[in-house]
Structures are given as structure tokens and as C-alpha cells.
Homo-oligomer: A and B are copies of this chain.
Amino acid sequence: KEKLLVFAGPCVVENREMLFSTAEGLKKAAETIGFDLIFKASYKKANRSSSGSFTGIGDEAALALLAEVRQTFDLPIVTDIHHPEEAALASKFVDVLQIPAFLCRQTELLEAAGKTGLAVNIKKGQFMAPGDMRLAAEKVAATGNTKILLTERGTSFGYHNLVVDFRGLPQMSALGYPVIFDATHSVQLPSAGQGISSGERQYIQPLARAAVAVGVTGLFFEVHPTPEKALSDSATQLPLSKAEPLLRELQEIFEITKKIQPLI
């Protein structure tokens, strides 16, 4: 059977306990349901709305915990980088480097990620048309590294709101790279709260279902054991307890709706 590729894990490494309990829960879901899991966590948050926000427990400490998760649970790891200098360090601990959406035009960052030889997941900027991700991908591919994935996470729609344009999924797929749908950042309401991004958790499920029906290689979720206590993105992280039933449903839709065969 074909397996959904799932990037999932907490927004940021908060501490050892929450990191490991999330990894354990997701690993179990992956084995039970049969999807491919890549464990996700940021080792620092560099673009929080407000300077008072939590940004991490220290880069090396967080990366070391991620490496421990990798070994303990035999899981590949993805994390995001923000400056070219971070690529070399992070690449020692993880399997996939992720380029944040705001930074998808930063040439040096894309090149540094490409040069590590790791797979590079580029998030589409909220300000960018899907087809223009060709240019971002080419900056990585120019380093000789074509292990590239493209992720949709919503597009600016007025102020304090994002819309997912599902035409963008086939448009990015046509660029020749696997396409991932980020179901938790896509439901954010940027800066709609007091200095923090708010969000609409109830739309994670319908938008993820839509993405699978349209056709994607995989999905991306931020997952937290207790989102209401999360130190970042608490409005939109998926409760760990919901990950298993939601991914069961999505893996089923993935198998039965099959890849789209263009009719028109």
C-alpha cells in the first residue's frame, strides 16, 4: 500500500519530556496506521511575532535532544534553519532541513541548505505564487542537490488571515518536486492575537482532507501533548491525542482516493 509521508512533531523543542512523549505517541501511530513519519521540531524560533516570546532552550541542547529522539525511536528528523551558518551545524543532527516561509527567497540560506546534501523542504512564502517556487527550488538545485520538497502553508489574504489556494498543490507538483501540505500553519491567523499568531484549529481536519483528495505526497502537522500549554503556536498545534484518529482517516482517504488521474 502507498504510505502518506507525515512531518509531525512539536513547534519547538521545549524540554526533553514533551519531546519524547510526542515522538513516542507519533511513532506508535505511524506503526499502527502505516504512514511514514519524519519527526519535526524547531531548535530555535527566530521569527516570533514579539520579542518577549519563547525562542528555545539553546541551539546545541535542542539539537542534541533531537539527535537522541532520532536514535531512540529510529526516526528521521526535520528542523528549520534561518541563517546560512546554521546549515552545517543542524545537518549533523537531522535528516531534512526546512526553509521557513518568510525566508524562501534568501539565496544564501537556500544554497547553504543545498550544500549539506540533506533533503531540503522549502515552505512557500505567504507572499509568493505557487509557480514561483520554481525559482526557490532552483537555488537549491544549483548546488547539485535535487532532494527538494515544497510545502504549502497558506497565502496572505487581507490582514491577519491566510487562505489555502488548492490550485497551488498541482502547480507546485508540476515543478517536479514532492508537495507537502502544512495543515497546522495554514490555519494560523497571523498576529491576530496580542503579539502572537492566533488560529483556527477546527479547520486542520477539513483542509488536510482536501489536500489528500487533491493529491499530495505528504502532510505536515505541529503536534503537542497539551497545546494549550505550548510555548509557541498554542492556537494551532494538533493535540497529540487527536493525531492518531486524524492520521488514520487521512491515510485511508489517501489510499482510497488514490493519486489524481487528470481527466480534463
B-contacting 9-mer, from A65-73, A87-95, A204-212: A204-212
- Interface members, chain A 18-51 (any B CB < 8 Å): 46-51
Instruction: Identify the closest chain B residue to A82 (Cβ).
Output: B106
- Interface members, chain A 132-156 (any B CB < 8 Å): 132, 135, 138-139, 142, 155-156
Q: Using an 8 Å CB-CB cutoff, how does the interface string of A103-118 with B read, 1 for contact, 0 for none?
A: 1011110110000000
Known interface pairs A50-B135, A84-B83, A257-B253; A207-B102 also in contact (CB < 8 Å): no
Distance in Å: Cβ of A2 to nearest Cβ of chain B? 16
Known interface pairs A257-B209, A263-B205; A191-B49 also in contact (CB < 8 Å): no
Distance in Å: Cβ of A128 to nearest Cβ of chain B? 7
Q: Chain copies in the assembly?
A: 4
CA distance A214 to B205 in the complex (A): 8
Report whether B105 and A49 are in contact in the complex, using a CB–CB cutoff of 8 Å: yes
Question: Chain A: interface residue count, which band?
Answer: 35 or more
Report whether A157 and B157 are in contact in the complex, using a CB–CB cutoff of 8 Å: yes
Instruction: Identify the closest chain B residue to A103 (Cβ).
Output: B102
- Chain B residues lying within 8 Å of A206, measured Cβ to Cβ, are 166-167, 169-170, 213-215, 260
Report whether A49 and B132 are in contact in the complex, using a CB–CB cutoff of 8 Å: yes
Known interface pairs A129-B160, A159-B158, A242-B263; A106-B111 also in contact (CB < 8 Å): no
Interface assignment of A203: CB less than 8 Å from any CB of chain B: yes
Among A167, A202, A203, chain B packs the most CB atoms within 10 A around the CB of A167
CA distance A76 to B161 in the complex (A): 39
Interface assignment of A126: CB less than 8 Å from any CB of chain B: yes
Which residue of B129, B170, B203 contacts A167 across the interface (Cβ within 8 Å)?
Answer: B203
Interface assignment of A246: CB less than 8 Å from any CB of chain B: yes
